[in-house]
A = this chain, B = another copy of it.
């Protein structure tokens, strides 16, 4: 049976890895007071197309035997930001602002599948939205919370690159350029085009050679501390918006320094980052993974002051979105999985079919103390039952004793082969064996 291209599915041990990642994200987001919501998978087409750019990728729904246009105008959401903005407007009267939320759901895009790009994929977003205004420290908070969450994941080293539209726009305005957005969109192509080509494109826009070279010099500045500020100042451009942007960006990098110090996630100011989407107004984020730079950014976002507005009220926000599938599908393909395909920490062996009730009772005793336990499906020879546990990655097999006390209850550690007598009323597997663990391959460690 052919798999559907662009619609990745995981085997149970791979899903256990994904579950561990999703649990860790949830734990961090909730520790910081972010509330969870889910939005419906569909939105009216006019909501989806408001931004204009992405229309070709939307999956439109139609009922199989639909007559006329009963459902006309519903499509699957292609991100979680547009539905969240709609949810905020629709429920504003029932929400408390600033509203911190996290949202982990699948999204769909009809684009051509390629590495790191799927037609169905999971995103994990955090956003903070205010009613009318939103203080800048919210930008610091989402950066710090996502960096902290990422630092706890069993993945290669990540670099969270932070920039600020105000720095770029203020700098361009300080140079006297009249259309900073157009300049930004050209400089944003530095990923794909050489610097010389960027200079040509800027010249075509009427940007003088000195200014163009200054724009390029700005884009080349990055630092893991606040030293970028002096390097920008050294370019000799002045503008109040530039000052504001530099101070904001420095605040984000400074606040994330303790996380950077941990080494798993480095938060860096990187003035090459501009984010193509046009609704960002200040802080912007992108994230690359060591050894997987070809995937592009796996975690992006920024400050948007105008995204959610019903005409009367505006709800400015700042958010960051982790591409869970973009992160995990390639790592899984390279061998990152959980050490078991089941949640079970213990397999209770079956002496014979007649004693299934006794094995069930032993299992239930362990479960009552929080130990995931399954009973062997059939009363095969113990050697076969042991191999059954091995194939699933279940670390312990429990062999029931008999009521007469002639045969003691014993536990075998599958990994060492060691077998000991136990009292099931008190025996417990080690804490670290209760849940599936992530098996990091050499590739991931490098």
Q: Does A90 contact B (CB under 8 A)?
A: yes
Complex contact A377–B98 (CB within 8 A) = yes
Q: Name the B residues within 8 Å of A62 (CB-CB).
A: 59-62
**Interface bracket on A:** 35 or more
A169 → chain B, closest Cβ, in Å?
26
Name the residue of chain B whose CB is nearest to the CB of A345.
B33
Q: Is the CB of A59 within 8 A of B63?
A: yes
Given A55-B65, A106-B41: A35 touches B343 (CB 8 Å cut-off) = yes
Asked if A64 contacts B56 (CB within 8 A), the reply is yes
Given A58-B64, A86-B1, also A344-B12 (CB < 8 A): no
From B106, B341, B370, contact of A96 by CB (8 A): B341
CB atoms of A11 and B367 under 8 A apart: no
Known: A64-B56, A343-B35. A374 touches B100 (CB 8 A): yes
Residue A399 is within 8 A (CB to CB) of chain B in the complex: no
Within the complex, which residue of B11, B56, B388 is in contact with A65, where a contact is CB–CB below 8 Å? B56
Bound-state CA distance A45–B32 (Å) is: 43
Would you call A224 an interface residue if the criterion is a C-beta within 8 Å of the partner chain's C-beta atoms? no
Mark each residue of chain A from 388 to 410: 1 if its CB lies under 8 Å from any CB of chain B, else 0.
10011000000000000000000
Least CB separation from A343: chain B residue: B30
Which of the residues B11, B89, B344, B373 comes within 8 Å of A94, measured between beta carbons?
B11
Chain A residues within 8 Å of B, Cβ to Cβ: 1, 3-4, 7-12, 15-16, 19, 30-42, 44-45, 55-66, 71, 74-76, 86-87, 89-91, 94-96, 98, 100-101, 106, 108, 110, 120, 135, 137, 310, 341-344, 356, 367, 370-374, 377-378, 388, 391-392
Could you list some 19 contacts between A and B, CB below 8 A? A1-B310, A4-B74, A8-B40, A11-B37, A12-B95, A16-B36, A30-B343, A31-B367, A31-B370, A32-B367, A33-B372, A34-B343, A35-B343, A41-B106, A55-B65, A60-B61, A61-B62, A96-B341, A96-B392
